[in-house]
Amino acid sequence: MRKNRENKGKSIIAFPSEYVVVDIETTGLYPGYDSIIEIAALKICNDKVVGSFSSLVNEGEVYVDEFITELTGITQEMVNNAPGIETVLPEFCEFVGDSIIIGQNISFDINFLYDCILENTNKYFRNDHVNIARIFRKLYPEETHYSLADIALRCNINYEKAHRAAEDCLITYKALRYLHEEILNKYGEESEFEKLFKKNRNKNSKLKASDIIVEGIEWDEDNPLFQKTCVFTGTLQNMQRKDAMKAVVGIGGYVGDNVTKKTNYLILGDLSYCKSVRDGNSRKYIKAKEYKIKGYDIEVIPESLFYEMIDYRGEENVTEVQNYNYKEELYKMINEVIKETGIPKNSIQFNEQVDNKNKGEYLLQIFEEDWPKNTSLLNPKGVTSPVLIIKEENKGKYQGSIKIIMKKSQFEVVGCPKTVTSMKSGEDSILVHILRTDPILIPYIRKHIIHKLSIYKSKNSFSCCSQFKRCSDERHCVHENLLYSTGCFYRMHLDKDEIFYGKNRNID
C-alpha cells in the first residue's frame, strides 16, 4: 500500500544557484525494511562545489549480501565498523539545511531519508527536490533509458567509479551542469524549458503494450514507471495481474511477458504455485539478478513497493499486504513434507509460545512420539528437537517481516537468502528478518525442516526390529514410524545401501 509521508518536500523543476546533490546506497529497494549503508552529499553554489559530506552508515542488524557488495564494493565488515545512524543523520541534516536537493531518481533517496530521519529524530524531511532524470528525458525525448549510467554516457561523463554515493553525487552534479548548458543553448531561458512540464495530456490517447490496452489514459511523466518496462512473476495478492499490467500502461509504462535486457522492473508476487521455481526463485527472478550484476538497468521489487509506485490504495475488501496469512502456506508446506517423508502426521509442530516472556513467538520443532504409541493418551508424550523460532514483527522498523532465529551451525548448512532485510549474529545463533510476503520465506523454512530431518537421530537406539528381512528385500526401512526408526542401527547401513540379509545381500 502507498505510504503517506506527511510534510515531505515536493518534486519540482528548477535550476537553483545553490543546492545540494544527494545520493545514498542501500541494502535494497524498500524503505522501512531495507537499510541505508552510505550517505553522500555535495553542496553547490554558483556552479562550484563548496562543501562535501560522505559517510558509511550502520543502522544496526544490517545484512549486506554478496550482490550489494559486488555492485557497490561495500562489505559487511565496512558497515559493521561504520558510525551509527544516530550519529550520521544529525550531521547530514545540518549539512543539507533547507537547500533544494538534486539527484537522479531522487524520490527513491528522499523516501529512505524521510523515513529514517522521522524514525530517528522525530522530524520531517521537508526539502524540495529535483530529479535530473525528468529533465533528461524531457530534453532528449528520443532516449528510452534514464539511469545514471545512461545520463552519464549522453553527457560524456566517466562512469567507471559509480555505485558509491560520493562518486554518484559528483556524476550527478556534472550531468546537471551539462544539461543546464544544453537547455540554455536550445531554449534560451530556463523558463521556456520549464513550460514543457505543464500538464497538457491527451484524454483520448491510447497505448498498447502486449495485449493490454487502456483507453483515456493520462500519462504520469513523474512516475518512476513512466516509459519503463515491467514484468511480473508469481501471484499478486492484491490485484489481478491483468489489472496490474493496465495500471503500468495507464501511467505510460510498458509490460512484458519475460525478463529481457530491456526489462526495467521485475515485480515479485507469491511463487508458491509457480511451476518454474528453482531453490525458491523463479526463472525470471534468476535472470533479472544476472542482468543486474552485468550492469543492465533492472530492479527487482516486492509487490507492496509496486503498489506504492503506482499509488494503489486498494479496495475495502482487499486484504492488505501486512495481513497476508503466511501461516496457511506454512501449514500446507509442513503437511507436504510429512507426506513426502512418510513420518507420522504430528512429527512437525508449529506452536505459539505460551509464556509471557516469549509471547508472539512460535516454535517450529520436530516431535518424536513415544513408541510404541499409547493410544489412551489425549496428549501424546515424546521428545522434541527445535528447528526454528519464528516471530511476526507487527510494529517498528521491521513491521511486516518475519523474524527467524536458528542455530549458527544450521545456518552454515542451509545458508541465507539474498532477500533478507537484516541479519544479526549471536554467540551460537543467527537472527534474520524476511518480508512476510517474500516468495522465498516458505521455501527457506522448508530447507531448514529438511535439513533437520536429514540429520535427526532418535534417542531410542536399537539394533534392528523384526522386519529386517523385509527392509533388506525392499532396500529401505519399512518401519511404521520412520522418525523413531532413525535410531535403528541396521537402518543406518540400509541408508548407505549396505544390506546384510535376503536376496539383495551385498555385505558378508
Span 101-129, pLDDT tens digits: 999 988 889 989 998 999 889 899 999 99
CATH number at residue 250: 3.40.50.10190
Whether residue 26 contacts residue 37, with contact meaning beta carbons closer than 8 Å, is answered with yes
Q: Where are the beta strands (DSSP E) in 192-307?
A: 206-209, 212-215, 229-233, 254-256, 265-268, 277-278, 281-282, 299-302
d(CA 222, CA 86): 32
Statement: residue 164 has pLDDT above 50: yes
Does residue 450 carry a pLDDT above 70?
A: yes
Alpha carbon distance 31, 17 (integer Å): 31
Give me 8's grid cell.
515531505
Residue 413 belongs to domain spanning: 326-455
More confident residue, 508 or 346: 346
> b/e map of 42-76 (b: 16 or more CB within 10 Å)?
bbbeeeeeeeebbbbbbbebbbbbebbeeebebeb
Say if CB 221 and CB 134 are below 8 A apart.
Answer: yes
Same domain, yes or no: 29 and 103 = yes
More confident residue, 275 or 242: 242
Residue 81 forms part of a structural domain: yes
Q: What is the mean pLDDT of residues 13-18?
A: 93
- What is the DSSP pairing of strand 422-425 with strand 401-407? unpaired
Q: What local confidence, expressed as pLDDT, does residue 105 receive?
A: 84
DSSP code per residue over 310-332: TT----TTSPPGGG--HHHHHHH
Q: Is the domain of 338 the same as that of 257?
A: no
- Give the mean model confidence (pLDDT) for residues 140-152: 85
- Residue 145 and residue 107 share a domain: yes
pLDDT by residue (tens digit) across 174-203?
999 999 999 999 999 888 998 888 754 443
Q: Helices in 231-301 by DSSP H: which ranges?
A: 241-250, 283-293
**Mean pLDDT: which of 94-98, 203-207, 270-274, 357-361 is highest?**
94-98
State whether 441 and 388 are in the same domain: yes
Is the same domain home to 36 and 143?
yes
Higher-confidence position of 197 and 84: 84
Range 319-343 average pLDDT = 76
Report the SS3 class of residue 73: coil
Q: Are residues 248 and 279 in the same domain?
A: yes
Number of domain units in the chain: 4
- Give the C-alpha separation, 311 to 20, whole Å: 28
Helix (H, G, I), strand (E, B) or coil at 231: strand
Task: Report the amino acid identity of residue 438.
Answer: D
- Residues with Cβ within 8 Å of 129's Cβ and at least 6 positions away in sequence, in order, are 9, 10, 11, 12, 100, 101, 102, 103, 106, 107, 110
pLDDT level of residue 281 (50, 70, 90 thresholds): low
Is it the case that residue 380 has pLDDT exceeding 60?
Answer: yes
42, 158, 231, 412, 413 from 341: Cα distances, Å: 60, 57, 36, 23, 20
Q: How confident is the model at residue 319 (pLDDT cuts 50, 70, 90)?
A: very low
The reply to whether omega before 302 is within 30° of 0 (cis) is no
The catalytically annotated residue of 145, 163, 433, 448 is 163
Mean pLDDT of the chain: 83
Whether 448 is a known active-site residue: answer no
pLDDT at 1: 40
